[in-house]
Structure 1
Amino acid sequence: MPASPERYLEVQNSEEFAQLRHKLRSFIFPTTVAFIVWYALYVLLSAYARDFMAIKVIGNINVALIFGLLQFVSTFVIAWYYARFAAREVDPLADNIYDELENGTPKAEAAATTDGGTD
């Protein structure tokens, strides 16, 4: 049976949900800004610093090609880092909130209860 709308509002106003939002925002906003600046730098250099971007580094490989490939590398690094961050920081909080919403018991308390509280 799904939780009531009032229960969802209660969870939304809880300290745990605020902590989850803070963790997500503290990762997503700076990372997004950094990536947009990095991408804009690439576009602006391509448009206004053609001589610099045309500098050959090795054979026919120039600075523009290296920067272009680094766009792909940075995208994959951000995705990998976010997956790692989410698994360590976000998912446990979200799982705990979900368990509390569905079962009325936080995951940590539920594990201690089923375990008998012994180590």
Structure 2
Amino acid sequence: MPDWERIERSDEFRELVKRRKSFVVPATIFFLAYYMGFILLAGYASDFMGESVYQGLTVGYCLALTQFLMVFVLGIWYLRKSENEFDPLADKVVEAAAEAEDARFVRKDEGTGVKA
């Protein structure tokens, strides 16, 4: 059985958590602030949100549609960052854990203590 505490203390795992957190936390804050800004504008600046941009298309609709665009962009950005940065780090964590665990899939015989 893997030693999860040792894996958690490893430099590779800490680096993975640090890098992932440095992306996810700011992206989440940005998303929530953008969304809350939209909600506040809708509630308190109804005149501004109701202004026509083009033949019935209002500022409110435009800002609402940018929510979809933002989620799409953040999702693609995360996938690329994950593929190029997080996944290689995760592979290093797995390799380090496998090296630390001498014989991960080899069982010891209960009676003799000899590897079977």
Shorter-chain TM-score tier: 0.7 to 0.9
Q: Does 1:92 align with 2:96?
A: no
Alpha-carbon RMSD:
1.1
Where do 1:1-119 residues align within 5 Å? 2-3=1-2, 7-101=3-97, 103-104=98-99
- What is the CA deviation profile of residues 22-72 of structure 1, one whole-angstrom value per residue up to 9, with x for unaligned ones? 001100000000110000000000000000000100101000000000000
User: What stretches of structure 1 of length at least 5 have no aligned partner?
Assistant: 106-119
Identity of aligned residues (%): 32
Compare CA radii of gyration and give the structure with the larger one: 2
Q: Please say which of residues 31-40 and 7-16 is displaced more in the overlay.
A: 7-16
User: What stretches of structure 2 of length at least 5 have no aligned partner?
Assistant: 101-116
The TM-score, its normalising length taken from structure 2, stands at 0.82
Aligned partner letter, 2:81: F
Between Structure 1 and Structure 2, the one with more helix by share is 1
Moved over 2 A (4+): none
